[in-house]
A and B are shown apart, each in its own frame.
Chain A
Amino acid sequence: MLFVLCSVSGYGQKEVYLSREAQVSFVSDAPLELIRASSSGLQGVIDPEEGTFAFRVSIRSFDGFNSPLQREHFNENYMESDVYSEAVFSGRIIEEIDFEKEGEYTLRAKGKLSIHGVSNERIIKSEVVVEKNEILLTAFFTVLLEEHDIDIPRIVYQKIAEEIEVKVEAVLKKVER
């Protein structure tokens, strides 16, 4: 992950946006159970010059489950957090946006989304508010368990949705590097 962050920033002095307060949450809305969890451990960087970005979050940092047991299941049984400790999304922004210009934009980020050790190419749409030295970013997207080889035992099939809705909210601040 460090490599990704470094590679995005490249050589020499340049301006990048680093996440300050960033939250990622997900909802699994299954017929029998609604599971919500969130993490404030999202880290991200956007290189405005290259249009590249990278975001990561530690799977173990997710909290807010219905019960501690559920959290344990999440980490041990489904996400296998000891083996696949984090989720990563990195790539390049499709639109060309001038981050010097304040305003609201819709951006589409094309990159590799890696969850549970399986990496898929995805396009994720996000609403972005560019302020002076700061970016406010909101994104919704869905993750199909099947796409990331996350197996759900038949018994809890009705309790976990096949399609997980993910929301990202992040504030990124401009820093010199």
Chain B
Amino acid sequence: MGIFTLILFFLSGVLPAQNPYFQTHPLAEAYRNARLELIFEDRNSLLWLGSSEGLFAYNGLDHIPYLTEENGDSHVRSIYQDAEGVLWVGYHSGAVYSLENGKLQKWEPEEGTPAVPITGFCEDGQGRLWIATYGEGLYFLDKGRIYNINRDDGLLGDEIYVIKKGPDGNIWAGTDGGISICSYKDNEKLLEELTREDGLPDEIVRTLLLDEKGNFWVGTYGAGVCYFDTRKQLFSYPFPDWEYGVVSELELFRELELWIGTEGDGVRVYSLRDSSLKPMSLDNSLENAKIYDLHRDVEGNIWVISNTHGLCHSNRQFSFLETPFSNIQAVLSDEAGRFWAGNGEGLFLWSDPSSGIPEFQAQLKEYELNVISLYEDKFGNIWVGTFGEGIYIFHPDKEDIRHLNENDGIANGSVLSMAGVNGKLWLATLGGVTELEIEADPLLMKSILTHNFDQEDGLGTNFIYKVFIDSRERPWFATDGKGISVLENNQIQNYQYASLNKDSFDHVHSLNRVYSITEDRNGNIWFSTAKDGIFKFDGNGFQQLTVKEGIRDLAITSLVTDPKGNILIVHPNGVDILDPETCHLIYYDEEVGIRNIDPNLNVVCKDGKGDIWMGCRNGIVQYITLKEKLEIHPRTILNAVSVFLEPFDFRNRNRFSYDQNNLVFDYMGLWYTDPETVKYRYQLDGYDLDWITTRDRRVTYSNLPAGSYIFKISATENDAWLDEPVIYYAFTVQMPVWKQGWFLFLIGIFLAAVFLYYQKERDKRLQRVSLLEKEKAESQLAALKAQINPHFLFNSFNTLAAIIEENRSGAVEYVEKLSDFYRSMLQFRDKELIPLEEELEMVKNYSYLLQKRFGNNFSLQIELKEKQVFIVPLTLQILLENAVKHNVISKSKPLNVLVCMDGPDYIMVKNNLQKKIKPEDSTHFGLQSLVKRYELISKKRIRIEENGEYFRVSIPLLK
């Protein structure tokens, strides 16, 4: 036995502390030389890493570089996202960049940028951006101007290590001289300070962390960490004897623990629950790491950047503890905070679990117990249930020990589970259930009242795996093959068949073997079965969750409810956490360090703080319920939309032209707990008929027809597709311009205009034609008037009478000419146009008639060569008649009429002007009507010219 103790002691000496399991995230080979120093989580929960070589976005799998174009600006010293979502990056060179449209843009204000490292950004209560530098103090932006606060203004030091917004909206800056609290009001810089005089243990303040109460944790250079109550304005010192050197970073799990990063002593974790300070190992070895940064993410992971391990992370909910004994069969955390574990080789006690260092001592060695269950009663006695040997009861601080077996009335010597309430204790045994009365300390009582229940009493079977007491203080029993039984009002009710559908008996399920029982926050009973998954029983009906619902391992060993009311499902491959309302499951396994834990049935217990301990084959898993609200889904981000591989500004635009119809969507789902498991499903509403599931983070759509679409993308970490949030991007691929309504409308308008124009033109033409008709009629009328002009006839007949006397044959000729003239006139008057030749012929006849009358006092001279032209009929005749009508014709004043060409296009009728003193009555109808007629049929107009000497009219020729 001595050797055994020695071995145990030896083992516990080398065993590392209880630890969460850390996974490292090395940078890609291409960035081998980059030293990671910063980690920042933006509002989309995307991680940004600052390194000596530049900025990276990190989704848990790939590093996406965001590099500046200037060589000097590579060493990232600070990262910040402002209220508008703009990411600010500060460099060692003093340069400041902002991330816009996926590119780093250098900030170049009029005032210039600092020449020293940028160590932090922060926005104050008024939304002003503050910038901390190492060497030039603080800068802040107000109304477009940059202002500086440095030593000259009363800042405690120009070297700023950290800035944070205080609970009052002021800026807290950690310097070499203490904490300066700065604000800017009414164009005044206001500075307050916290120094050694106020109780700061060291003037060099390296880091500040605001907690949920509005108080600050302060990490110092030489005096460790202190806590400042901002309301009471008081410092407190949890570590008066800090011996781990410079504090570089702090991170907090609310009401749980403070993580302290040091410059050379790795990470220390200060428990806010028991005030212990434990070293945190990143890889199960004790290391003297320099910690650059610490970060707690939205999934409950803690990220650590150190010089020894680079970037690594761990899920804080689970920590793993190797035990020097294996195959644990029972665990118990007692009221005093001690931890008990039992297996086939005995009982082991860990007196101080808060130390984090497992130091187990074997107990009751002399009894050689095969421990299969543990229980603590209200008197602080430990009950040890064994396989075949009944129960041993003892108090850790007392010598007494009491043994109970079948002789004392318990149903069977193999006690698999114990649970009690209100002075009653129920034992689940291989021979039924035993109810014990323990109103008084069982170590002092002479005999303990027992009452046994078995199959006869209605219990499903006599093999009971588990007894569980619900919030209504009813004991539930998990039976081997006959479902669950409950003891209510001293009556046992057994449920062997689960009706899954209340309205029909088709889905009645035989429950068979039940292993574990728990209760959710709504009072529903959940139990696990050997092969059929888990069931919920709400008092009336049952609901089954099995592989289809996401239960990934049916060999469930335990169900246990955490303080938030979620149900932990423990199975050989890990632990799944079930939200009882949404039935959402989160899987935890090797990535949190708990793969192949191979637990025994119902080896779980809850301690006084609500932590859950699970005994496994080779150790113990501790589950801590974090107070923070944790994300249970991957955060899905639509990163980019590209058109023919060109990035598209999809955040501001959603219209694509008809030829921009080759679209690529890039997205990612952030699930840092296990990035490899993330799967996606997408659907393009208006194109895809159903969801498409993929592991790719990109989808291409080519040749999308015009129309409206909604791209939907969702990510899951557990394949369940129950309540995963969906990201939507609605967009339109437009019709080509010639198919769009407005274009067709315009075309319609245009056609209508053309039609109207045509109509109008036709009306005009018709009008002109009718006018022409009218003018024609008028000129005919004029000609007819001339024909029947009594003067003309009278004169003609006088002339004829004279000729008849003198020259008979001449008279005959005259009459012939006269009749020719009249015939021509009758012939022509209906015609639009006649050849010039014919008109000339008629004019010659007319002239003959006139010459007979006036003799040599009248002469007509025709000088024309052009004959192949047309003329309005009677034009020349009317002009000739006018000349005769309006002019004196006498021997002394003969009238000479000339018909000749006037340029190539006109024919001119010209006469010498010798107007009659008394003008003859005239309607002026003839000439006017001619002018109008020509206006209608020709673009050229009749030209009329009159001076003292002559009168001439030029008629356009029509070809």
Q: Does B146 contact A (CB under 8 A)?
A: yes
Residues of chain A from 111 to 168 with CB closer than 8 A to chain B in the complex? 120-125, 140-142
> Do A125 and B145 have beta carbons less than 8 Å apart?
no
Cβ of B136: which chain A residues have Cβ within 8 Å of it?
94-95
Q: Does A92 contact B (CB under 8 A)?
A: yes
Q: Does B148 contact A (CB under 8 A)?
A: yes
Q: Does A77 contact B (CB under 8 A)?
A: no
Q: Mark B108-146, 1 if CB is under 8 A from A, else 0.
A: 001110110000000000000000000010000000011
> Do B115 and A123 have beta carbons less than 8 Å apart?
no
Interface centre among B112, B114, B115, B136 (most CB of A within 10 A): B112
Q: Does B914 contact A (CB under 8 A)?
A: no
Q: A94-B136, A108-B112, A141-B110 are in contact. Are A123 and B147 (CB under 8 A)?
A: yes
Q: Does A61 contact B (CB under 8 A)?
A: no
Cβ of A142: which chain B residues have Cβ within 8 Å of it?
110
Cβ of A141: which chain B residues have Cβ within 8 Å of it?
110
CA distance A106 to B152 in the complex (A): 21
> Do B110 and A94 have beta carbons less than 8 Å apart?
no
Interface centre among A94, A110, A120, A141 (most CB of B within 10 A): A94
Cβ of B147: which chain A residues have Cβ within 8 Å of it?
121, 123
Cβ of A140: which chain B residues have Cβ within 8 Å of it?
110
> Do A125 and B112 have beta carbons less than 8 Å apart?
yes
Would you give the shortest CB distance from A109 to chain B, in whole angstroms? 10
> Do A125 and B110 have beta carbons less than 8 Å apart?
yes
CA distance A95 to B152 in the complex (A): 13
Q: Does B662 contact A (CB under 8 A)?
A: no
> Do A123 and B111 have beta carbons less than 8 Å apart?
yes
CA distance A142 to B152 in the complex (A): 24
> Do A95 and B145 have beta carbons less than 8 Å apart?
no
Would you give the shortest CB distance from B214 to chain A, in whole angstroms? 31
Pick from A95, A110, A122: contact of B115, CB under 8 Å: A95
Cβ of B111: which chain A residues have Cβ within 8 Å of it?
108, 122-125
CA distance A118 to B600 in the complex (A): 81
> Do B152 and A123 have beta carbons less than 8 Å apart?
no
Would you give the shortest CB distance from A44 to chain B, in whole angstroms? 19
Residues of chain B from 140 to 172 with CB closer than 8 A to chain A in the complex? 145-148, 150, 152
CA distance A142 to B146 in the complex (A): 13
Q: A121-B147, A122-B145, A123-B146 are in contact. Are A92 and B112 (CB under 8 A)?
A: no
Q: Chain A at the B interface: mostly helix, strand, loop or mixed?
A: strand
> Do B148 and A110 have beta carbons less than 8 Å apart?
yes
When C-beta atoms are compared, the residue in chain A nearest to B147 turns out to be A121
When C-beta atoms are compared, the residue in chain B nearest to A107 turns out to be B112
Residues of chain B from 716 to 761 with CB closer than 8 A to chain A in the complex? none
> Do A106 and B145 have beta carbons less than 8 Å apart?
no
Would you give the shortest CB distance from A165 to chain B, in whole angstroms? 10
Would you give the shortest CB distance from B723 to chain A, in whole angstroms? 52
When C-beta atoms are compared, the residue in chain B nearest to A52 turns out to be B152
CA distance A108 to B112 in the complex (A): 7
Would you give the shortest CB distance from A90 to chain B, in whole angstroms? 12
When C-beta atoms are compared, the residue in chain A nearest to B189 turns out to be A121
When C-beta atoms are compared, the residue in chain B nearest to A121 turns out to be B147
Cβ of B110: which chain A residues have Cβ within 8 Å of it?
125, 140-142
Cβ of B114: which chain A residues have Cβ within 8 Å of it?
94
When C-beta atoms are compared, the residue in chain B nearest to A126 turns out to be B112
Q: Mark A87-112, 1 if CB is under 8 A from B, else 0.
A: 00000101100000000001010100
When C-beta atoms are compared, the residue in chain A nearest to B151 turns out to be A92
> Do B148 and A106 have beta carbons less than 8 Å apart?
no
CA distance A120 to B187 in the complex (A): 9
> Do A92 and B146 have beta carbons less than 8 Å apart?
no
Would you give the shortest CB distance from B850 to chain A, in whole angstroms? 82
Would you give the shortest CB distance from A94 to chain B, in whole angstroms? 5
Cβ of B112: which chain A residues have Cβ within 8 Å of it?
106, 108, 123, 125
Cβ of A121: which chain B residues have Cβ within 8 Å of it?
147
Would you give the shortest CB distance from A138 to chain B, in whole angstroms? 13
Cβ of A92: which chain B residues have Cβ within 8 Å of it?
152
CA distance A123 to B112 in the complex (A): 8
When C-beta atoms are compared, the residue in chain B nearest to A91 turns out to be B152
Interface centre among A110, A121, A142 (most CB of B within 10 A): A110
CA distance A120 to B114 in the complex (A): 20
Cβ of B148: which chain A residues have Cβ within 8 Å of it?
94, 110, 123
CA distance A106 to B116 in the complex (A): 13
CA distance A158 to B452 in the complex (A): 101
Would you give the shortest CB distance from A166 to chain B, in whole angstroms? 11
CA distance A16 to B822 in the complex (A): 125
CA distance A123 to B152 in the complex (A): 14
CA distance A124 to B111 in the complex (A): 5
CA distance A106 to B94 in the complex (A): 13
CA distance A142 to B145 in the complex (A): 10
Cβ of A106: which chain B residues have Cβ within 8 Å of it?
112, 115
Cβ of B115: which chain A residues have Cβ within 8 Å of it?
94-95, 106, 108
When C-beta atoms are compared, the residue in chain A nearest to B146 turns out to be A123
Cβ of A125: which chain B residues have Cβ within 8 Å of it?
110-112
CA distance A142 to B111 in the complex (A): 10
Residues of chain B from 416 to 445 with CB closer than 8 A to chain A in the complex? none
When C-beta atoms are compared, the residue in chain B nearest to A105 turns out to be B115
Cβ of A95: which chain B residues have Cβ within 8 Å of it?
115, 136
Would you give the shortest CB distance from B868 to chain A, in whole angstroms? 71
CA distance A106 to B150 in the complex (A): 19
Cβ of A120: which chain B residues have Cβ within 8 Å of it?
187
Cβ of A94: which chain B residues have Cβ within 8 Å of it?
114-115, 136, 148, 150
Would you give the shortest CB distance from B290 to chain A, in whole angstroms? 29
CA distance A125 to B146 in the complex (A): 11
When C-beta atoms are compared, the residue in chain B nearest to A106 turns out to be B112
Would you give the shortest CB distance from A137 to chain B, in whole angstroms? 14
CA distance A141 to B146 in the complex (A): 12
Would you give the shortest CB distance from A134 to chain B, in whole angstroms? 23
Would you give the shortest CB distance from A10 to chain B, in whole angstroms? 16
CA distance A72 to B136 in the complex (A): 43
When C-beta atoms are compared, the residue in chain B nearest to A92 turns out to be B152
CA distance A130 to B363 in the complex (A): 82
Residues of chain B from 234 to 288 with CB closer than 8 A to chain A in the complex? none
CA distance A121 to B145 in the complex (A): 10
Would you give the shortest CB distance from B553 to chain A, in whole angstroms? 64
When C-beta atoms are compared, the residue in chain A nearest to B148 turns out to be A110
CA distance A140 to B115 in the complex (A): 18
CA distance A141 to B145 in the complex (A): 11
When C-beta atoms are compared, the residue in chain B nearest to A141 turns out to be B110
CA distance A95 to B148 in the complex (A): 12
Cβ of A108: which chain B residues have Cβ within 8 Å of it?
111-112, 115
When C-beta atoms are compared, the residue in chain A nearest to B136 turns out to be A94
Q: Mark B324-355, 1 if CB is under 8 A from A, else 0.
A: 00000000000000000000000000000000
5 CB < 8 A contacts A-B: A94-B148, A106-B115, A108-B111, A120-B187, A123-B111
Q: 10 closest pairs, A vs B, by CB? A: A125-B112, A123-B111, A108-B112, A110-B148, A95-B115, A94-B136, A123-B146, A125-B111, A123-B148, A92-B152
**Additional pairs, 11, CB under 8 Å, beyond known A108-B115, A123-B111:** A92-B152, A94-B114, A94-B115, A94-B150, A95-B115, A95-B136, A106-B115, A110-B148, A110-B152, A124-B111, A125-B111
A residues with CB within 8 A of B: 92, 94-95, 106, 108, 110, 120-125, 140-142
